[in-house]
Structure 1
């Protein structure tokens, strides 16, 4: 076993993006770009002159996939391919945004005319093809699909919970005019006068920034306020558990595919994943391929695939993927940190028994695009060992000496009883409600809980800049925000093992 490093064929458009990224990277290969500093910025103590053209940190586009809830099964392959193209288009536009700061500084209309306008045209064509794919098999495409073509410029602030516009203020002039309704923020020492985006974090990478970190001692116990990711188990109902030991990716199986969201698409994730369990997980694997693959799980009847974006330390290390798409060529830079522990547990439901989950069910928890999408599907939490009653979703944590970073994911544990997937990869499952019950029409299945523990050198923050930060891999335009952390699962347990899991949980036993 080893890294999945198959040679990727690069079409001309992709080569152009890689070339643009290479210009931004410079000779060392570590730095993705200095996204925020104006070409005319002058340093003289704390006095800096910034151009108004350097205000846009990233690109915000409507998430088309989340808006497609009724795609006929026969159309899904074609639709998924077009959705992957939309993601690639955003990546290309973002690369251009990052490499044209001087032009933006000299022309207030540059971003709209040279980046957002052409992007809208490309997205319109892809959306038309999505509609054709759906109609070709007798389905009905949403009438307002074309309204999802337009993208905006976006500042580097965190999205706000409950904001109907995905946490973003209205942004006129192609997203460049961001001085309307925005409060001045010192953002942990990062100057954002008049809504301008902050400088980079000191190593030139596209985040994270000082304001993305919080001392765990400053997090209040039991203060996590997102509705998603509640632990389904409790003192009543089905109180047992089943733990499966699958290692911490000792085989170094990495790739930037996503078999759930972008099946059949090379580099569909645009970031690198860790894999434990199933060893056949690529974008091109069929269910039969997965069923016949090897597994790292001690119980060989568990061939499920468990995968998540890698955690990296931005310390200048040239990883194996430093020049690859999904890796350094898309801003995912630095040393990959392997978890010291990967605890994978299935638990019950507060209200009653659970039923077996179907084989090959796909579940995604969290949202890799939560920074631009808003918080509707955000999940997962960061904490520190010894402080795990303190969970935070929109910050990375600074742990005291002797404490380790913890990433926790509690998956959706209600199933519609029929489907192993859905068009937007969300609607066939749901989170438990506050009282632990499932929404009407859904039934409780074992809840997957994944706890990852890391030995992470503590970053240092001085003068509003963070040195040697750690961050999850992500889509380049998401700026490595912690809110974008996510986790993926495909159940490939055999029937006998799944029945054992259900029996243990419903009888209140703790099994391994």
Structure 2
């Protein structure tokens, strides 16, 4: 195997690098940084994406076992970091663990429905070192998505794929398990690529804003109540929360409905996204904890400079109310290993928001802030507040702005978060250890807990063309 050395992380996570790896650079933000190391990552089939027909009676047990699959991968990295075993041995043990867990998933589903075929075939993982595709590529012609109508309007990445020319940059070496210099691009070298469908007669042109702050209270955890309910550290990375103050792995609809909120209008909804860290050599307080440094998420967490939560209308007609407790995930936290089918990351800089990046972090010029934006799915199946894979009950609008057959338009949640990144410092989004902090893995999560009265106000504002909030 080509991988021959392990680089220990802040608290025990691991990135695997070639024996001849070296890093060079300075703290001068005007100079280009290079890094010759090519990190390796464990790539496993994403079982959750394949399970789109799980009986309701089995979903809780299935979700717990899916979370266990993620914990097994994280454990594999930690064993390599502690040099308990080599990569081949680690992969063999991981396959055995996954096979047992996949069998439990099959048993859980088989109690009330037909056992899914092919589960056993998803037990094997590989060590991936070729990063030219599936979100690891870069340079001109990379997979870039522009637009704020669901992120499915394609634009070209015209950047040079190098770290230089911007005011933010690398510190000359990989910290933790990513990012790499090739993950950054000078935003001034990216061509405008945002496209939006034209409004038709009868479009809902209003908007509704919830003012929920920037998480000044530092409400954070490494849970994910949507994907891994009841499982502590189910995300293996840290989330920022605004809105509902009580959200954690054990939250229920009832507890969320009783929870206090940071939103000034009483919106009790849960809005959460991975934190952004600046890798300036300082350690966050979670440097020796799961979800933090133990899993390769190192550096100082940045509090956003601003965070806007806005609900928009449809360019082709009116929107209908979201049901209370509707859950939506946008983007894919595993897009680096899964591929880009569900990627919906949008990175840019203030003053340059007509150009959006998905598989690059932007380097912004002096006086410009880093921007993350998330345009959520805006079509709902009219029946379900969630689905087995947490995706099938909602959909993106089509290219002309209309919903696919069987779906109806709901207010589109658009989150925009800005950060003041210190000059000359590398920054990255938190992620699963095997995702190497690639920008394409950025994602956002939402549970609607607005009261029916507040949701009606939002819909009325949007459909009447007013701007409220």
Matches within 5 A, 1:109-124: 111-112=87-88, 114-124=89-99
The answer to whether 1:36 aligns with 2:17 is yes
Aligned-partner Cα distance in 1 for 2:276–2:297: 10
Aligned-partner Cα distance in 2 for 1:454–1:233: 30
**Contact 2:197–2:400 at 8 Å: present in 1 too?**
no
1:158/1:43 Cα in 2 relative to 1: closer, same or farther (>3 Å)? closer
**Contact 2:277–2:301 at 8 Å: present in 1 too?**
yes
The answer to whether 1:57 aligns with 2:40 is yes
Q: CA deviation at 1:100?
A: 4.3
**Contact 1:233–1:348 at 8 Å: present in 2 too?**
no
Q: Secondary structure at the match of 2:66?
A: helix
Q: CA deviation at 1:320?
A: 1.6
Q: Secondary structure at the match of 1:217?
A: helix
Q: Give the length in aligned residue pairs.
A: 426
Give me the TM-score of the superposition, normalised by structure 2: 0.85
1:252/1:188 Cα in 2 relative to 1: closer, same or farther (>3 Å)? closer
The answer to whether 1:215 aligns with 2:191 is no
Q: Secondary structure at the match of 1:270?
A: coil
Aligned-partner Cα distance in 1 for 2:338–2:373: 21
1:56/1:393 Cα in 2 relative to 1: closer, same or farther (>3 Å)? closer
Give me the TM-score of the superposition, normalised by structure 1: 0.78
Matches within 5 A, 1:74-89: 74-89=57-72
Q: CA deviation at 1:232?
A: 7.5
Which residue of structure 2 lines up, in the alignment, with residue 383 of structure 1? 348
The answer to whether 1:319 aligns with 2:293 is no
Aligned-partner Cα distance in 1 for 2:110–2:328: 27
Q: Secondary structure at the match of 2:358?
A: coil
Matches within 5 A, 1:84-163: 84-100=67-83, 111-112=87-88, 114-136=89-111, 138-155=112-129, 157-160=131-134
User: What do you get for the CA RMSD once the two structures are aligned?
Assistant: 2.8
Aligned match for 1:419, one of 384, 390, 402: 384
Aligned match for 1:504, one of 456, 461, 468: 461
Q: Secondary structure at the match of 1:35?
A: strand
Q: CA deviation at 1:30?
A: 7.0
Q: CA deviation at 1:33?
A: 4.8
Q: CA deviation at 1:458?
A: 3.3
**Contact 1:56–1:153 at 8 Å: present in 2 too?**
no
Q: Secondary structure at the match of 1:338?
A: coil
Query: Which deviates further from its counterpart, 119-128 or 202-211?
Result: 202-211
**Contact 2:162–2:184 at 8 Å: present in 1 too?**
no
Matches within 5 A, 1:282-431: 282-300=248-266, 302-431=267-396
The structure where helix makes up a greater share of residues is: 1
Which residue of structure 2 lines up, in the alignment, with residue 107 of structure 1? none
4+ residue runs over 6 A deviation: 40-44, 230-233
Matches within 5 A, 1:161-200: 188=162
Q: CA deviation at 1:503?
A: 0.8
Aligned-partner Cα distance in 1 for 2:237–2:261: 23
Unaligned residue ranges in structure 1 (runs of 5+):
1-20, 45-49, 104-109, 164-185, 190-199, 224-229, 460-467
1:509/1:399 Cα in 2 relative to 1: closer, same or farther (>3 Å)? same
Aligned match for 2:403, one of 434, 438, 442: 438
Q: CA deviation at 1:141?
A: 2.4
**Contact 1:201–1:209 at 8 Å: present in 2 too?**
no
1:430/1:496 Cα in 2 relative to 1: closer, same or farther (>3 Å)? same
Aligned-partner Cα distance in 2 for 1:489–1:135: 31
Q: CA deviation at 1:274?
A: 0.3
The structure where strand makes up a greater share of residues is: 2
Which residue of structure 2 lines up, in the alignment, with residue 202 of structure 1? 173
**Contact 1:257–1:282 at 8 Å: present in 2 too?**
yes
**Contact 2:332–2:441 at 8 Å: present in 1 too?**
yes
Aligned-partner Cα distance in 2 for 1:42–1:371: 23
Q: CA deviation at 1:235?
A: 6.2
